[in-house]
Chain A
């Protein structure tokens, strides 16, 4: 624990350094990055021992003389600390160039400070060991990220995004507090360890209350509405941290609470699995329908949270039906996907940030041809795209395979469990296919083909401080894909904290990972042979260049290219009525038609339902009470007096 606390102290020092020296802009950035990197490295060193099953270290301090804040570092915490300490420093390095706004040095300094606070509070969330410390650091995490979203607070859209995020995160926190309070009322102590003694029917209520709260942080459909607002509004390095790492704290909360409550009823797994399926499929469908690059990536977070929950749901159903192979592989796949998603999603957000910085465009239909202009960004983004589509030989496939493996072990179950497992497998297949569809769209429209606008044509590669983190992340995608064994082992070690889980034989894990590695390497070898073969075939051949075959059309323009909208429309259309597609067409109505316009947009049903069914009626209802607010101070005092008297009379 000492090393862990040391790393947090170093991180905090880095944040304070940024806050104090912002006037020396370059020095501040360099110093901040160096200190943060050192702090994160110490943190990674600190979690090495608990991950290897070493003894669980704890730390506690009394606060306000009444409360004890206690923290412990067990394998599950340690596993969730890996993305925090591994991905955050890369995003911080990236910000050296990305946040290069000397004219806003104060604001950048403050942003760096809150980024540090976010990292520290996430690390503390993952280690909190009682109710008080958990809710305290949870709030710190929410508030610091809220302030980070507000970086461009002079823009109305950024403020709106910030408010939406604030409402969702605080409403979610309210549910978590309610769950914790209910737990406290039954145990009479703040300790997490006594959660298992709560009566069974209250466990259900506590779990589902907290699930709403954690779900709103993780971005479970339909509580994901803040994600597509907050991620595009925040600077890309912050989006990478928030989407890659922070939303996983919601997943941590769900798995941790499940482990603490020590429950085996089927309902938990079934609900979590269903939420995972809904989030996964609808997340990717909306991602297909969206054409703002960062918004689209935000929806992919919803999708990947869905995959993670499908894994967790398979695990929970496995525990309920005492099928430990299914349970272990489901949970392990879920945990590994947490790590994998943090890698490729932050990679993709960093890539999107690079595109944004060089072109100033977020709408994919205005981009194009960037692979030639930004080769490193393009190649790393392509790597991330393949990984997030869950295709071998990259890392996304490894975790999805573990989930499949667990799910197929549950296929012999009977009754409703079989239906759930079947749905899980099918939805994983659908999600995989649609994710591939979506990322062929993104890569094809943004990076390939011809640039659709002047700005896209003038794009150029970003600096080394931005490309280096992307290259590192892309390399880890391939590394985990080709050498899955140590990472799969990490995930299984992280599971040691889930007590209901009997460990599955190390041999089976070794065989599965060895087979995965074999297939990935075999494919890579075959691919390299084919590349070589192709080289041989093209020896001494005439190779010429010309225009693209226009199918007889001789005057092609770049505007004729297929756009992201047209590419995805038939798929999105297939998913009606779960998506709302609104089109506006001016029509051709005269003999010499004027300018015609066509507009289509895909609206999120969750958001529309929230606005139409909850917010609008609520505003109407509250509007009826507007006469109470009249602005006369003496009458307000009168309200207070009357209230106090009334309370005194009745209580």
Chain B
């Protein structure tokens, strides 16, 4: 029961949190900012609309949003939000899920290329490059976690017998992981300093430019998918900061969503305080995150010997 409630909350709450980022950014800019529920309004509005399709596009263009959404959504089914047992879990599910997100990206990219637009091609080329680099960091984190407690699934990481936490012997290494995963979060979810979703210059964007030609419910699916993706990455970091155990009950949930809001707020602060990198600096930024976790992984060699 707890599983379903937790999942339902996650599904419903995910569009709320990006509103926090907007609020934080507005605060820094000295503005009032859009209402907290802005993203719900956006999605609802898009769902009501029709669509315009480019003459260049084929069926692949319509598959992009669907696969992208499905691949972001499936992760929620495997993730132990606030320590609740996820709907599904097995040893190795993290690999499957990160690859499924790769599938989502594959279709987003080919949908962008389907429009024959040079801008969308440009965004697609950047997206595949940067996300490949981010994947290296992610897999280093996976093998670091596997080395810490032998687990290979989200449930084992956070609510297993020997959860990954700051309290354990190797907890100090998690500082590096939290920092690196935050950088991955910024990269994978097209936030400043890697990408700027707010800019109006198509040349400088990555993710947003790929979806220029989508409209109506298609665009709504893409937006929802990106909310879930951001929600997942933020929840991952939240779990690293504060480990949960199923025994603690309802207090967990407040703690979890509170910390989650903090993670989103930090994203907002980062966006307010940093400018977007020049494109050739982005690989260095992403590889810095890799260097951090790689260092952590090498350190485990000393710990276990």
Listed in ascending order, the chain A residues whose CB lies under 8 Å from chain B are: 368-369, 371-372, 378, 382, 386, 389-392, 397, 401, 404-405, 408, 411-412, 414-415, 418, 422, 425-426, 428-430, 432-434, 436-437, 439-440, 443-445, 448-450, 511-512, 515-516, 518-519, 522-523, 526-527, 529-531, 534, 537-538, 541-551, 556, 558, 560-562, 566-568, 570-571, 574
- CB of A287, distance to nearest CB on chain B (Å): 13
B52 in contact with A436 (CB, 8 Å): no
In the docked arrangement, what's the CA distance between A418 and B216, Å? 50
Number of A-B residue pairs, CB cutoff 8 Å, is 240
**In-complex Cβ contact of A549 among B93, B109, B212 (8 A):** B212
Q: A433-B135, A548-B115, A549-B54 given; name 14 further pairs at CB < 8 Å.
A: A404-B92, A411-B147, A422-B140, A426-B140, A429-B138, A433-B136, A436-B132, A448-B110, A512-B91, A519-B100, A522-B88, A547-B55, A548-B55, A566-B125
Interface stretch, picked from B28-36, B170-178, B188-196, B297-305, is B297-305
- Chief secondary structure at chain B's binding surface: helix
- Chief secondary structure at chain A's binding surface: helix
- CB of B113, distance to nearest CB on chain A (Å): 3
Chain A to chain B: the 9 pairs with minimum beta-carbon distance, closest first? A562-B121, A444-B113, A433-B132, A542-B50, A449-B116, A537-B217, A437-B128, A515-B90, A429-B139
10 contacting pairs across A/B (C-beta < 8 A) = A408-B142, A414-B304, A449-B56, A449-B113, A511-B90, A523-B71, A537-B47, A548-B54, A561-B116, A562-B113
**In-complex Cβ contact of B124 among A414, A515, A556, A562 (8 A):** A562
- CB of B134, distance to nearest CB on chain A (Å): 9
A391 in contact with B99 (CB, 8 Å): yes
B117 in contact with A391 (CB, 8 Å): no
In the docked arrangement, what's the CA distance between A551 and B122, Å? 13
B135 in contact with A422 (CB, 8 Å): no
Listed in ascending order, the chain B residues whose CB lies under 8 Å from chain A are: 47, 49-60, 62, 65-67, 69-71, 73-74, 77, 88, 90-93, 95-96, 99-100, 102-103, 105-106, 109-110, 112-122, 124-126, 128-129, 131-133, 135-136, 138-140, 142-143, 146-147, 150, 152, 202, 212-213, 216-218, 220-221, 283, 297, 301, 304-305
Cβ–Cβ < 8 Å partners of B218 in chain A: 534
In the docked arrangement, what's the CA distance between A51 and B129, Å? 42
Cβ–Cβ < 8 Å partners of B136 in chain A: 426, 429-430, 433
B51 in contact with A412 (CB, 8 Å): no
Cβ–Cβ < 8 Å partners of A368 in chain B: 116
In the docked arrangement, what's the CA distance between A343 and B202, Å? 40
- CB of A523, distance to nearest CB on chain B (Å): 6
A519 in contact with B70 (CB, 8 Å): no
- CB of A396, distance to nearest CB on chain B (Å): 10
- CB of B150, distance to nearest CB on chain A (Å): 7
In the docked arrangement, what's the CA distance between A222 and B297, Å? 30
B50 in contact with A389 (CB, 8 Å): no
A422 in contact with B55 (CB, 8 Å): no
**In-complex Cβ contact of A544 among B50, B59, B152 (8 A):** B50
B50 in contact with A541 (CB, 8 Å): yes
- CB of B85, distance to nearest CB on chain A (Å): 16
Cβ–Cβ < 8 Å partners of A549 in chain B: 54, 115, 117, 212-213
Cβ–Cβ < 8 Å partners of A519 in chain B: 88, 90, 93, 96, 100
B49 in contact with A541 (CB, 8 Å): yes
In the docked arrangement, what's the CA distance between A238 and B133, Å? 36
**In-complex Cβ contact of A523 among B74, B126, B221 (8 A):** B74
Q: A562-B121, A562-B125 are known contacts. Are A538 and B217 too (CB-CB below 8 A)?
A: yes
In the docked arrangement, what's the CA distance between A261 and B74, Å? 46
Q: A404-B92, A541-B216 are known contacts. Are A432 and B146 too (CB-CB below 8 A)?
A: no
Cβ–Cβ < 8 Å partners of B47 in chain A: 537
**In-complex Cβ contact of A392 among B100, B135, B146, B152 (8 A):** B100
Cβ–Cβ < 8 Å partners of A526 in chain B: 70, 73-74
Cβ–Cβ < 8 Å partners of B139 in chain A: 425-426, 428-429
Cβ–Cβ < 8 Å partners of B96 in chain A: 392, 397, 401, 516, 519
Among B96, B120, B221, B301, max chain A CB count under 10 A is at B96
B143 in contact with A411 (CB, 8 Å): yes
In the docked arrangement, what's the CA distance between A27 and B219, Å? 55
A440 in contact with B110 (CB, 8 Å): yes
In the docked arrangement, what's the CA distance between A17 and B90, Å? 54
Nearest opposing residue in chain A for B279, CB measure:
A570
- CB of A482, distance to nearest CB on chain B (Å): 13
- CB of A363, distance to nearest CB on chain B (Å): 17
